[in-house]
């Protein structure tokens, strides 16, 4: 009887550790767009296998429309895709590196490589179609 109790205790401890680890991993998956900068752009590419970067500026009205769509997509595709925002006025190096001349511009990166680009304010369905091609 004592042996069975000990096995049950060990089993419960292992289950608790597994559940804690799963909960921790879920909280690390961004469900809102993350803000990235010139300084941490490369690190974001390495960390997230599928990354959608919204190049925007505060004065850009179409960027505000796209921002709402990106927020919804970040939540819906959490765990499959990470959405990020990069302010072009504050981070001109990355914008220049990827030849972002018009905003909003959405760049899709898969495994650290540029995989697709959308320029301008487009409907959510258009963005989701591109995402589905990359997932």
Low-confidence ranges of the chain (pLDDT < 50): 24-27
Q: Are 128 and 75 in contact (CB under 8 A)?
A: no
Domain extent, residue 23, equals 1-29
The predicted pLDDT at position 21 comes to 61
Annotated active-site residue 63? The verdict is: yes
60 catalytic? Reply is yes
pLDDT at 130: 96
- Same domain? For 79 and 108 the reply is yes
Whether residues 91 and 105 share a domain: the answer is: yes
If one counts the domains in the chain, the total is: 2
Identified catalytic residue from 44, 51, 52, 63:
63
- Selecting among 44, 51, 52, 60, the annotated active-site residue is 60
User: In this structure, are 1 and 67 located in the same domain?
Assistant: no
pLDDT at residue 104 in the model:
97
């Amino acid at each position: 009887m004592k042996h069975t109790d000990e096995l049950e205790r060990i089993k419960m401890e292992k289950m608790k550790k597994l559940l804690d680890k799963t909960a921790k991993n879920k909280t690390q998956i961004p469900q809102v767009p993350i803000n990235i900068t010139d300084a941490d752009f490369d690190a974001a590419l390495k960390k997230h296998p599928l990354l959608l970067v919204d190049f925007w500026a505060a004065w850009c009205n179409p960027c505000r429309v796209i921002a709402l769509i990106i927020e919804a997509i970040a939540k819906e595709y959490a765990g499959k895709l990470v959405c990020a925002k990069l302010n072009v006025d504050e981070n001109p190096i990355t914008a220049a590196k990827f030849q972002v001349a018009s905003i909003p511009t959405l760049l899709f990166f898969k495994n650290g490589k540029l995989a697709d680009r959308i320029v301008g304010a487009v409907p959510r369905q258009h963005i989701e179609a591109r995402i589905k091609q990359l997932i």
